[in-house]
Amino acid sequence: MAKIEISKEELVELYYGQKKSPYKIGKLYGCSFSTVTNRMKEYGLRPISRSIMQSKYEKQAFSGSDEEKAYMIGFRIGDLNVYQTVSRSEVIVVRCHTTQKEQTDLVKKLFEKYGQVTIGGVKSLYVNCFLDTSFDFLLKKEDGVNDWITKNANCSNNFAAGYIDAEGNIGVYDGRARFKVDSYDKNVIFWLYAWLLKNDIFCPEPIKIGEKNQIYDKKLNYKYNKDLWRVRVSKQESLRKLFSTIKPLLRHSNRLAHLNKCLKNLDDRRKARQY
């Protein structure tokens, strides 16, 4: 029986380019699965992992921007669940559950250029993003900030923006603009405090506002999972400095809308003092 001829170039295109399995390639050439795998061995072609072969959607590697990476890490610590289905999987899944459509819109914008994004739900929404392993920097959730972020002003600003987009509260309350972040991430809260002071933004030292296992909703019996910490900024000039720093970096439409309302409030109060 004549040897089935399949060139190396054809195999590379079909297997690596079109992601066709050896079984499907065999059907194209009228030969068996084993014949295709034997040709691959002869050409020294390494098999693609099963998870990549089974992945339906094309994925792009992370862009490599340190600023974008810092923002994503800040947002991930605040609001994302990231995992691999198995330790050797070639697919990293980024997930988020929320009641806010603006949150799912933001997650989609962050990751849709890198992989498939699916959104579902009605009142309780979920978003799933399927990425390649260049996003392994998102796997580990840490209550802390890496030195490479802290030592770079742009990366620090982007990390802060990402975390604020996830956990921040910006708004006008009792006629006054306010900013606060409440979080279980004590080390990140104190990092934010240090970052604020470094940027000449005055704020009091963070305080613990809730104890672990303390019931905060008696009707539903909700408890704090850990100690809850708060960092806040209330003084007008400090708020103005903070908002001017983070406004170009925020990506959450609600945060930006509330920030603009706060800026208007600060301007209105300044004008009122002049009369």
User: Greater confidence, 132 or 50?
Assistant: 132
Going from N- to C-terminal start, the domains of the chain cover: 8-48, 66-138, 147-273
Confidence (pLDDT) at 170: 98
- Distance from C-alpha of 86 to C-alpha of 253, rounded to nearest angstrom: 34
- Distance from C-alpha of 253 to C-alpha of 222, rounded to nearest angstrom: 29
Other residues' Cβ atoms within 10 Å of the Cβ of residue 39: 23
Confidence (pLDDT) at 28: 85
Buried b (16+ CB within 10 A) or exposed e, 217-248: eeeeeeeeeeebbbbbbeeeebbbbbbebbee
Confidence of residue 218 (pLDDT cuts 50, 70, 90): confident
Confidence of residue 55 (pLDDT cuts 50, 70, 90): low
Confidence (pLDDT) at 48: 66
- Amino acid letter for position 123: K
Was domain 66-138 assigned CATH 3.40.50.800? no
In degrees and rounded to multiples of 5, residue 181 shows phi and psi of: -130, 120
% of the chain surpassing 70 pLDDT: 93
- The class level of CATH for 147-273 reads alpha beta
Confidence of residue 49 (pLDDT cuts 50, 70, 90): low
% of the chain surpassing 90 pLDDT: 61
- When pLDDT is averaged across residues 7-26 and rounded to a whole number, the result is 79
User: Greater confidence, 33 or 67?
Assistant: 67
- When pLDDT is averaged across residues 157-181 and rounded to a whole number, the result is 97
- When pLDDT is averaged across residues 227-240 and rounded to a whole number, the result is 97
Contacts of 187 (CB under 8 A, 6+ apart): 143, 144, 145
**Which of 37-51, 130-144, 185-199 has the lowest average pLDDT?**
37-51
pLDDT at 260 over 70: yes
Determine if the pTM surpasses 0.85: no
